[in-house]
Amino acid sequence: MSKKVLLSGVQPSGKPHIGNYFGAMKQFVDLQDSYDSYIFIADYHALHSLKNKKEMKENIINVLLDYLAIGLDPKKVTLFKQSDISEHTELAWVFDTITTMPYLMRAHAFKDAEAKNKEIDVGTFNYPMLMAADILLYSPDIVPVGQDQKQHVEIARDTAEKFNRIFGDTFKLPEPMIIKNMEIVPGLDGRKMSKSYNNIIPLFAEYDEVKKCVMAIVTDSSGGVPKNVYAIHKLFRSEDELKKIYKEKEGKYKELKEILVEDIEKFVAPLREKRKEFSKDIPKALEILKAGSAKAKVIASKKMEEVRENIGVSL
């Protein structure tokens, strides 16, 4: 029996953080043996927040190195870049024509931008349509994401259903896959860890940077368990062990933070080493990406041909 299909992606909008890792990227690695996996770099998505050629290039390469360093094996996973596959933007347009504005106005990204009184670009408004195209071109069974992307996967599912209803059965309906207890990894201030909140611990930070971040975790002054420290700590140690440590060191926030720094370091150091190895041969990493994009292109173009046929533009 052929394997089920998994698809997901990360935006190269900055450094991936431990929220991205535990919320999503770790699942890509854990599931690569059991699923036919497609993992991509969502560079066109990042364009809505990043408008700098040099940074964009660097960030794309960084996400690629991160994917390799966390253990994604190019023999098992098709690693590709969104902008290499023009079918993503092509299909997004088709979806734009079957989706209403009031429907997209309910999407979180738009509502957040509106609440902040930001000038909202059309790309941000249409963002869920590009994401629907990313997903539906590859007919995945599951899409592992953090909680913040759940609504987008549901929009992809609704869009597939709507398209199928109008033009006939074309798309498989995808399911979001969200790991319990990792739905929302908290940041240094207890809110969701997010680049836009400036509350992250970068996944591949050097020791000193990790230390600086951990020391900046916001603690209350009640003298009990510092809940923001504990919430991050439990990503790196079992709760049984943690309960003992936090009881023994009750009220000693600095010492608890120092233990957390060491635990993060133990976890990150080997990954960082692997990443350094991969970064010594960028052309080789880019070859991997190119080969992955070529493979993805075959699948995406086949699906897009089916779409063109079903909407009636193929003659």
| Residues making contact with ligand TYM (CB under 6 A) | 8-11, 19-20, 23-24, 42, 45, 131, 134-135, 143, 145-146, 148-149, 152, 182, 184-185, 192-194
d(CA 134, CA 171): 12
**Residues listed for the chain:** 315
How many whole angstroms separate alpha carbon 314 and alpha carbon 308?
6
Minimum Å distance from CB 315 to ligand TYM?
31
Closest to ligand TYM by CB, 189 or 258: 189
186 by DSSP, 3-state: which?
strand
The Cα–Cα gap between 253 and 222 comes to 11
Q: How far is the CB of 256 from ligand TYM (least distance, A)?
A: 21
φ/ψ bin of 148: left (φ > 0), alpha (ψ from -120 to 50), beta (otherwise): alpha
- Closest separation in Å from C-beta 244 to ligand TYM: 26
In the bound complex, what is the minimum distance in angstroms from residue 88's beta carbon to ligand TYM?
9
Q: Is 209 helix (H, G, I), strand (E, B) or coil?
A: helix
Separation between Cα atoms, residue 268 and residue 286, nearest integer Å? 24
Can you say how many angstroms the Cα of residue 233 is from the centroid of all Cα atoms in its chain?
21
To ligand TYM, the closest distance from the beta carbon of 232 in angstroms equals 11
Shorter beta-carbon distance to ligand TYM: residue 19 or 292: 19
| 178 vs 288 by CB, closer to ligand TYM | 178
Q: Which is nearer to ligand TYM, 231 or 291 (CB)?
A: 231
Token pair for 59: 């960030």
The structure tokens listed for 296 are 């993805």
Compare residues 122 and 315 and give the one whose CB is closer to ligand TYM. 122
CB 11, min distance to ligand TYM, A: 4
4-10 vs 35-41, strand pairing mode: parallel
Q: In what order do the strands lie in the sheet with 77-81?
A: 77-81, 35-41, 4-10, 142-144, 175-177
Of 158 and 258, the one with the shorter C-beta distance to ligand TYM is: 158
Nearer to ligand TYM (CB atom), residue 10 or residue 296: 10
The residue of the chain with the least Cβ separation from ligand TYM equals 23
Show Cβ contacts of residue 10 under 8 Å, excluding neighbours closer than 6 positions: 16, 20, 24, 25, 41, 42, 63, 66, 67
Which residue's entry shows tokens 């919320």? 23
Closest to ligand TYM by CB, 4 or 284: 4
Decide if 39 contacts 28 (C-beta within 8 A): yes
CB of 82 to ligand TYM, least distance (A): 7
Q: How far is the CB of 184 from ligand TYM (least distance, A)?
A: 5
